[in-house]
């Protein structure tokens, strides 16, 4: 295995190792290697790893792996960061269309580094006892709280993630405090198996749950995560929601090389 060139990005503190894999040289089936790269003590460190690859008919393909080394469902903040990375490589300029595991995505890169990412339509929201479950490219459980700072995100999130209801496939877990069209969101992420500073698909799920709860046909919500501020706009569809855009920062941190893990 050769020395690896990588790039580090974060979207509101949700951080990623990104690799230009247009040459298809990265060992994407090596779970232990990817887990090591994401390890904050022995590797580079990150909530996940992404590969940018060529794909006919699109500007590029995004492949996302959780920090446990396994290829995963869609990551919203990762999607925004890989758009910024594609611009750095000269693949795109202001607008792009790329393909990810959940289908095609449009995105817009602004001059200040902010990226707006169009999310997949959400056709179904399940509500049980005032708690919500929906898929925004990844599965998300949403619980609303009066005082979010009282929640133990790790232990309560883990309890839901491994509950009988979700034991087979797991779920991401979001705790939300709402004040009008402003949310505070804390997320326990499946595959990371810990709280992350922000989760794009989780923030999207939280906004759509709040819109469903409030009976809104369209809107724009501002969201505060522990790692920064984002926003989500949406429109009500005949079934669920459409024209969903996740907007927030996508910051380049550093470029580096790492020796093989022998």
Written as one string, the DSSP assignment of 203-218 is HHHHHHHHHHHHT-SE
Residues pairing with 10 in the sheet: 15, 251
Instruction: Classify the phi-psi angles of 100: left when phi > 0, otherwise alpha if psi is within -120 to 50, otherwise beta.
Output: beta
Distance, in Å, from the CA atom of 102 to the CA atom of 119, rounded to the nearest integer, reads 9
Q: Tell me the CA distances in angstroms from 31 to 11, 24, 42, one per residue in order.
A: 24, 16, 15
DSSP 171-200: -EEEEEEEETTEEEEEEEETTTTEEES--H
- Cβ 214 vs Cβ 208: under 8 Å: no
What tokens were used for 166? 């979700």
Closest C-alpha to 9, from 46, 39, 36: 46
**What is the set of active-site residues?**
75, 199
Q: How many CB atoms lie within 10 A of CB 23?
A: 8
């Amino acid at each position: 295995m050769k020395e690896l060139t990588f790039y580090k990005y974060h979207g509101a503190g949700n951080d990623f190792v990104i690799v230009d894999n247009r040459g298809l040289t990265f060992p994407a089936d090596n779970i232990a290697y990817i887990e090591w790269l994401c390890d904050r003590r022995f590797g580079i460190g990150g909530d996940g790893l992404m590969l940018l690859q060529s794909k006919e008919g699109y500007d590029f393909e995004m492949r996302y792996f959780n920090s446990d080394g396994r290829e995963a469902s869609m990551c919203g903040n990762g999607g925004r960061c890989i758009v910024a990375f594609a611009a750095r490589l000269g693949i795109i300029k202001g607008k792009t269309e790329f393909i990810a595991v959940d289908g095609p995505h449009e995105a817009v890169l602004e001059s200040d580094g902010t990226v707006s990412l169009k999310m997949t339509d959400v056709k179904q929201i399940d509500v049980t006892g005032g708690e919500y479950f929906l898929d925004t490219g990844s599965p998300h459980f949403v619980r609303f709280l009066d005082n979010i700072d009282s929640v133990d995100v790790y232990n309560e999130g883990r309890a839901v993630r491994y509950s009988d209801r979700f034991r087979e496939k797991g779920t991401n877990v979001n705790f939300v405090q709402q004040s009008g069209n402003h949310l505070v969101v804390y997320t326990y992420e499946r595959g990371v198996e810990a709280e992350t500073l922000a989760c794009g698909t989780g923030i999207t799920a939280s906004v759509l749950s709040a819109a469903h709860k409030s009976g809104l046909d369209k809107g724009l919500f501002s969201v505060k995560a522990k790692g920064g501020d984002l926003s989500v706009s949406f429109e009500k569809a005949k079934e669920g929601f459409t024209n969903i855009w996740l907007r927030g920062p996508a910051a380049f941190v550093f470029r580096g090389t790492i020796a093989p893990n022998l």
